[in-house]
Structure 1
Amino acid sequence: MTRLLGRLGGWCAGHGRVVLALWVVLAAALMGGSLVFAAPTSNDASIPGTDAQRAHDLMKTGFGPGYAAGGTVQLVLYTGDGRLTDAARKRAVERAVVRVRDMPHVVQVDSPYRVGGIASNLQIGLIGIRMEGHDSDKIAELTQNMSKAADPVRAAGIEVVPADSSTPADKEIETGPSEVIGVLCALLVLVFAFGTLVAALIPIFTALVSVASGLGLIGLLGWVVDMPKQAGIMATMIGLGVGIDYALFLLSRHRRLLADGVPVVESVRRTVSSSGGAVVFAGGTVIIALSALMLAGFPLLATLGWVTGISVVAAVLTSITLVPALLGLLGHRVNALKVPFLRGADGSGAGWAGLGHWVARRPWRVLFASVLVLGALAAPALALKLGPLDEGYGTQGSESRRAYELMAAGFGPGANGPLLVVAELPSKVAESGDPIVGQVTRAVDDVEGTAHVGEAKVNASGRSVLLQVVTDYAPSDPRAAGVVRDIRDIVLPGVDLHVGGEVAGLTDAGDRMAERTPLVIGVVVLLSALLLLLAFRAPVVAVKAAVMNLVSLGAAFGALAMVFSIGLGSGLVGMDPPAGSSYLQTIFFSVPIESYVPLMLFAVLFGLSMDYEVFLLTAVRQAYQRHGDNARSVAEGLGSTGRVITSAALIMVAVFVAFVAYPDPLVKTFGVGLAVAIAVDATLIRGFLVPATMVLLGRLNWWCPRRLDRVLPNLSVEGHEEDEAPAPPRREPAGAGV
């Protein structure tokens, strides 16, 4: 494989203009096409085979309009002085109801002056709106239009706050300055690492091209599959990080070879042959980890996984083609535009090599201290609190959060996430007053935790009954999930009870994640270890690498628990506590983490952590095969990669921290988890724990049973044999060094 990559890199270096033009045209075409033919997005969180999905399927048939996903909008009314029942206010509300009823796609409008439509204090009311025939992707736009139709109510001094039926995950994620901040921070790190502006701009340019290509393809794929709104931001976050890092590894290698007097094209060929192989294997581990999410049984999670994988594939392809092309075009000008007072990386790695020798002299003490520190960092993970996020955790002052707080104040916290109970009856009934319908209603009402059971609605066939149930608990309260399970446990002769709605769907998602998590983790660890075994032909190294990645994951989950579950720092990442919270409540504001986040975070982090493992092991293996001294090879490998890995980690941390500024809680969670894990992985894990264990294992690091060695294919990632050969005199092809 290394020879094939070397030939590819040499060809791209010799045909730089062609490769550059092809990539620019491809990125522009894909990005332009996705903008012109913008595909709809969908956060369909349905999970086939679950009880909530069965309830939602039944609601679509025979219960009238507005019961499908995205078919309900509410306008929350509030008057701080007086009552909504005052004559003038009531006339204004009734005029608004008429205006909303005349709007397109609206099939039913429930006035607040109905049973259950106004709170007991007569200051908070609800206008219920049901729609059909609309584009569910435009629910936010339709909601705003209906809110404008209620202007007569505002003129009467009544506050009107729209609330649609979407969840926090459905909210549109507006792009902000995070991408720009991340790129600027990465550029700053690259300038310090290389000392020249031209060299620093190469990884930035290639990463932007790869991200544009990936986003364009993802946007067009939205016409074929349901594409979550978070897909683009997740792909951008991961794509920027790995795209810059992969180009950084190649560029660092190339500059060292140029400094040794190797001709430009030959240097590019050797770079892609060795470091390019490491990039391919590192990217492969990320893609394998993300692909395993398809086993989670959660279509939304699977889509986020393979969509993010597209950005990684784009980063790998640009690294082994576009980077060589740019290096060939620039030639020795890659070191142009030196920044005053900055020397950049000289490639000696003396400091890191010194650290490696220091660790080699006291491996047991370093091992013990590293495990102790990592254990302390991972300990808070025991307090990790999983659960659904409701609008109560939205941005303070936003319409969705204001509507949530008003509804909770007027109708109880459970009004923000009512349960939709569908009962399949043993025989046909004519009306909601039938005895069997009353029996179902009473059984549901008797469940502990139910605050209110709405009027039963019989479907057109007379074989199903729909009940809207308001619990005593907020959607994010774990006790709400308990009510869901208790209702499902009701036993009535011939009656099958199904519970749908946001709370029920997220409850089923959590149960599915708990059931499938061991399978996904096992597959990711096994396949990643197998890939490392193919790369290095060393079973001990492959198993050890998988264990080290799990250790860094523990630190990441510990940080998540500390910031979100314990709440120490949730305010710093932009999570706003409820209005009127005390000082201590503000400091320790606990935020639940969606049940599927840890599994996806595991897949992403496991793959990214393996990147640094591959690059470090490649260098150690090369040194070991030169002289056979294990302790010395560990020190030399750490010395040759330490500066580069640290720079790459700083870039990733900067990119991920920049995305914490996004208002979406899911993006914040990933930003914190990824940043902490990468920081720990590049310092404690690669700087201390990995060298200490490799020194202690000695020759076992590279031991391979003879039978296994004979059956393993030769997929060496190093390409080290080329580094020992003298550089032959070569005539630079046209375009090289220009």
Structure 2
Amino acid sequence: MERMTRWVLAHRLPVILVWAALALAGGALAGGTIDRLSYETRLPDRPGQEANDALAQRFGQTGGRNAPLLLVVTVPKGASVTSANVREQWSALVTRVTPPGGRSAFYRGTGDESLVSADGRTTIALLYPPATPSNAPYERWLPGITAAVDQARILGAPVELTGQPVLSGRNSGAQRGPIYETLLGAAGALIVLTVVFASGLAVVPLMMAAVAIPTTFLLVRGVTALTDVSFIAQFLVALIGLGVAIDYALLVVTRWREERDDPDAETGASARHTAIVRAMAGAGRAVALSGTTVAISLAALVVLPVPFLRSVGYAGMLIPLVSVAVALTLLPVVLYSWGDRLDRPRRPHRVDSRAWTRIAHFTTRRPVASVLVSGFVLLALAAPALALRLGQPATATLAQGGAPAQAFARIVDAGFGEGIARPIEVLAPAGSLPSLTGELRQLDGVTGSVAPDQWAQGDTRIIDVWTAADPSAEQGRAAITGILDTARATPGVLAGGAPATDVDFVDAVYGSLVLVLLLVAAVTFVVLARALRSVVLPLKAVVLNALSTAAAYGVVVFVWQQGHGSELLFDTPAIGAVTIWIPMAVFAFLFGLSMDYEVFILHRIRETHLRLNAAGERDTVVASVVTGISRTGRLVTSAALILFLAFTALAGIPVTDVKVFATALAAGVVIDATLVRGVLTPALVTLLGRTIWWFPRPMSRLRALSGGRPAPLAPMKERV
């Protein structure tokens, strides 16, 4: 690390020019990069995907994983939607609002009774406009359909438009890009950095983020030339990139100022150069190790057989790697060239945090009590995760208080069932249609089905089947399983639609979950063991990271799935289920981000241990822990607060899935930086004593054979 830092300082101008060129190019091309992002969530070789592909091929881009729009009308008392007059008006309206190439199902007569309420006053039409490959698939058609429906009346009764695409707001066309949220996060980060540094140095970490983010976008653009990258990547790169780049820069700048102000440091012309080299020898190694562990955890997404999550993993892995590169090359140059001038007003800098020193002394004096209390709190936070339910958010929770939500509530009250918002779409040969339709209607939990004559292409017909309960609910999932099993048991029949895709997604993502998690944990353990020369510390780190991730899951279930606080915080009731991709993505990001803080603390504890050993001290554990916590606690909490603000900004994006994802990450970093790293880590290290440095001789030999060397003692004298 020292050699690289000296080389970078000797080539300051080329380093600045290269990073400036990358950042400018990335910024200039960012708009085009975002336009290249994909909204597809394909699951190759899965039965649901096969059905949706066949449907798209034979019937155009209608239906499949895209839920239908729902038109609903309730005629006045004494009238019936089955009367000839109403049927004629209803048929004319639905036909008029169905776009060219779209398809619709509405009450025409015998066989369509599922679209009429028991009292005969309410009827529904299912409308599938041609979809576009975007996050707003019906955006092209929705304004015209809405305008026509708003003006329509049947026997004086208003016609209403609802359905999942309307309730979710995905087709409003008013979604923000990542710039707004990034600016919000940057503003919050600047406030935190101003408090931490109390000088112009507060802008330096933001400068590093301003280089890392567009550079990462530039690399993502290159990835899009090789494979599809999900649209979610733009928010992850912008906001997680903001937090990670600032965190790494914060660590290096803090250590640089500490080295520069050390009273035992050398003076003279070379002091500025030496302070940066020493800072990078300690903090630079921690940053490199930290970025490696984050990238390893994101490999969990890359190895999954789901292109959507793989692309998130690719983009996610680039975030820490670019941030590390910026922190190890550009940041030393900036500190060397302008660090002293930016550190104005120049004030005495206290290396040890008084608050965290007191906390460290408390936990090391009462390690058993600290472990028991913090462990109990963590387990209590994680407990709701046992009730985790995977699925799409319940349709009834997607929007509240507006006309579409009220219309959907009336549909449910009229007895049509919540599942009508997300029906299963069955492609069947015409010859098997009568018997198959009858079987499907007799299944438990099924409230209706339609198979209009117009939904035919050659010998293939479409049957839409829906359930009484929402497909994400327990009863709804059981009914969906019955529908899929019954349909696929008939030769030549395919079953797709959004609920079928959800079932396939669960199988693809979580079918080999244990193996993926074990792989990530094992690789992380090996990397940390090699760097820290300890078997116990990496094992403890992996276990605590898993526990803090479980606590984040518990918070998500408690807040979003069960609805304790979701209305207060987000004006949204319980969603009933956590979107399928979120737990896996949360693990990949949170496991790595949490390891950042663990590495910062353990690396400093190890430095202190090595110095004390060199000074002849025998019992170094407590002194190492106190010094490590007192000198990194403030840094870790500041870094966590910056990430928390970034995730809070991420939660402002008007997409429910992203809000849930941001909630998990925000809760996870706060829990990890305070309860886990501030209390549980020092208490456990104290209890384990000298065993934390156990490193079997065979592993030492293996490390030597691989070219590894013990980390050199950092030159700065510790004040314990």
TM (norm. structure 2) is 0.86
1:127 Cα deviation from its structure 2 partner:
6.6
What is residue 608 of structure 1 aligned with on the other side?
593
What's 1:270 paired with? 278
- 1:184 maps to 2:187: yes
Shift of 1:401: 4.6
Other-structure match for 1:194: 197
Out of 260-269 and 713-722, give the one that drifted further: 713-722
Does the 8 Å contact 2:39/2:135 carry over to 1? no
- Post-superposition Cα deviations, 1:678-699, rounded to whole Å, max 9, x if no partner, equal 2222222222221222222222
The question of 1:383 aligning with 2:364 is answered no
Aligned partner (choices 607, 615, 618) of residue 622 of structure 1: 607
C-alpha spacing 1:125/1:37, structure 2 compared with 1 (3 Å) = same
Cα contact 1:6–1:272 (8 A) shared by 2: yes
TM-superposed CA distance for 1:167, in Å, is: 9.9
What SS does the corresponding residue of 1:48 show, helix, strand or coil? coil
1:210 counterpart (185, 209, 212): 212
Task: Tell me how far 1:164 sits from its aligned partner.
Answer: 7.5
Question: Match for 2:625: what amino acid?
Answer: V
Match of 2:451 in 1: 455
Deviation at 1:421, TM superposition (A): 2.0
Q: CA offset at residue 566 of structure 1?
A: 2.8
1:711 paired with 2:715, answer: no
Which amino acid is the alignment partner of residue 76 of structure 1?
L
**1:321 paired residue number:** 329
Give the distance between the partners of 1:612 and 1:37, measured in 2 at CA: 32
- 1:412 — aligned with what? 417
Q: Cα distance, 1:405 vs. partner?
A: 4.2
Q: Distance in 2 between matches of 1:548 and 1:572?
A: 30
**Superposed CA offset, 1:296-320 (max 9, x none):** 3322222222222222222222212
Structure 1 residues 138 and 652: CA distance shift in structure 2, 3 A: closer
Q: Report the 3-state secondary structure (helix = DSSP H, G, I; strand = E; otherwise coil) of the residue aligned with 2:45.
A: coil
Which secondary structure state, in structure 1, belongs to the residue aligned with residue 572 of structure 2?
Answer: coil
Q: 2:635 corresponds to which residue? A: 644
* Matching residue within 713, 716, 720 for 1:720: 713
Matched, 1:50 2:36: no
C-alpha distance in 1, partners of 2:433/2:556? 46
Query: For residues 137 and 566 of structure 1, what CA distance do their matches in structure 2 show?
Result: 27
Q: 1: distance between equivalents of 2:568 and 2:223? A: 36
Compared CA separation, residues 270 and 233, structure 1 to 2 (3 A): same
Q: Over aligned residues, Cα RMSD in angstroms?
A: 3.5
Unmatched 5+ residue regions in structure 2? 614-619
Residues in 2 aligned to 1:226 and 1:593: alpha-carbon distance in whole angstroms: 25
Matched, 1:349 2:353: yes
**Structure 1 CA distance for aligned equivalents of residues 552 and 388 of structure 2:** 11
1:421 to 413, 422, 426: 426
Matched, 1:680 2:674: no
Equivalent position amino acid for 1:541 in 2: L
Are 1:387 and 1:478, in contact at CA under 8 Å, matched by a contact in 2? no
What TM-score does the superposition give when structure 1 sets the normalisation length?
A: 0.84
2:245 aligned counterpart, secondary structure? helix
Structure 1 partner of 2:343? 335
Residue aligning to 1:368? 372
Partner of 1:695: 686
Deviations 1:627-675 (A, max 9, x none): 2322211212222212211211222222223333333222222222222
Q: Determine helix, strand or coil for the equivalent of 1:451.
A: strand
Which residue in 2 is equivalent to 1:732?
none
Match of 1:580 in 2: none
Separation in 2, partners of 1:38, 1:492:
39
Note the alpha carbon deviations across 1:91-127, whole angstroms, 9 max, x for none.
98777667656x6x53556677674666665455437
Deviation at 1:547, TM superposition (A): 1.0
Residue 650 of structure 2 aligns with which residue? 659
Say if 1:398 and 1:318 are closer, same or farther in 2 by CA, change over 3 A: farther
CA contact (8 A) 2:427 2:494 kept: yes
Matched residue type, 1:374: L
* Unmatched 5+ stretches in structure 1: 426-431, 578-588, 726-738
CA displacement, residues 1-55 of structure 1 (integer Å, 9 cap, x when unaligned): x2344335434xx61x543443233223223223246534433233223321232
Which structure has more relative contact order (CA 8 Å, sep 6+)? It is: 1
SS at match of 1:106: coil
Aligned to 2:2: 3
| Amino acid across the alignment from 1:264 | R
Letter in structure 2 aligned against 1:359: T
Match of 2:318 in 1: 310
C-alpha displacement of 1:75 = 6.0
Does the C-alpha gap of structure 1 residues 106 and 50 become closer, same or farther in structure 2, counting only changes over 3 Å?
A: closer
Q: Residue 128 in 1 paired to residue 115 in 2?
A: no
**SS in structure 1 at match of 2:393:** coil
1:468 aligns with 2:464: yes
Residues 300/345 of structure 1: CA separation in 2 closer, same or farther (3 Å cut): farther
Q: Is the 8 A contact 2:537 2:693 kept in 1?
A: yes
Evaluate the alpha carbon distance shift between residue 455 and residue 9 of structure 1 in structure 2; reply closer, same or farther with a 3 A threshold. same
Flag the 1:77–1:369 CA change in 2: closer, same or farther, 3 A.
Answer: closer
Q: 1:356 to 1:521 in 2, by over 3 A?
A: same
In structure 1, the partner of 2:616 is: none
**Aligned to 1:420, what secondary structure does the other structure show?**
strand
Does the alignment pair 1:244 with 2:235? no
Q: Give the secondary-structure state (helix, strand or coil) at the position aligned to 1:126.
A: strand
Taking the aligned partners of 1:492 and 1:331, their CA distance within structure 2 comes to 67
Matched, 1:233 2:241: no
Aligned partners of 1:412 and 1:472 also within 8 Å: yes
What is the identity, as a one-letter code, of the residue corresponding to 1:346? R
Q: Residues 416 and 107 from structure 1, CA distance in 2 versus in 1: closer, same or farther, beyond 3 angstroms?
A: closer
Q: Which among 617, 626, 635 is matched to residue 635 of structure 1?
A: 626
1:279 to 2:287 alignment: yes
Could you say what secondary structure the match of 1:453 adopts? Answer: strand
Establish whether residue 144 from structure 1 lines up as the match of residue 142 from structure 2. yes
Question: In 2, distance between residues paired with 1:21 and 1:210?
Answer: 14
Counterpart position of 2:161: 161
Question: In structure 2, what is the equivalent of residue 429 of structure 1?
Answer: none
Structure 1 letter corresponding to 2:629? L
Contact 1:383 1:566 in 2 (8 A): no
Q: Partner amino acid for 2:5?
A: G
Q: Could you tell me how far apart the structure 2 residues matched to 1:460 and 1:448 are?
A: 30
| Cα distance change of structure 1 residues 325 and 510 upon mapping to structure 2, 3 Å threshold | same
Q: How far has the Cα of 1:137 moved from its partner?
A: 6.3
Q: What residue is the counterpart of 1:736 in the other structure?
A: none
- 1:661 counterpart SS class: coil
Pairwise CA distance, 1:614: 0.9
Do the aligned partners of 2:55 and 2:64 also contact (CA within 8 Å) in 1? no
Q: How many aligned positions are there?
A: 691
8 Å CA contact 1:191, 1:200 repeated in 2: yes
2:71 corresponds to 1:76: yes
Aligned-pair distance for 1:388?
Answer: 1.7
Which amino acid is 1:161 matched to? L
The 3-state SS of whatever aligns with 2:465 is strand
Residue aligning to 1:25: 21
CA–CA separation in structure 2 for the residues paired with 1:467 and 1:374? 48
Question: Do the aligned partners of 1:34 and 1:220 also contact (CA within 8 Å) in 2?
Answer: no
Identity %: 27
Whole-Å Cα distance in 1 between the matches of residues 240 and 437 of structure 2?
A: 49
Distance in 2 between the 1:300 and 1:169 partners? 21
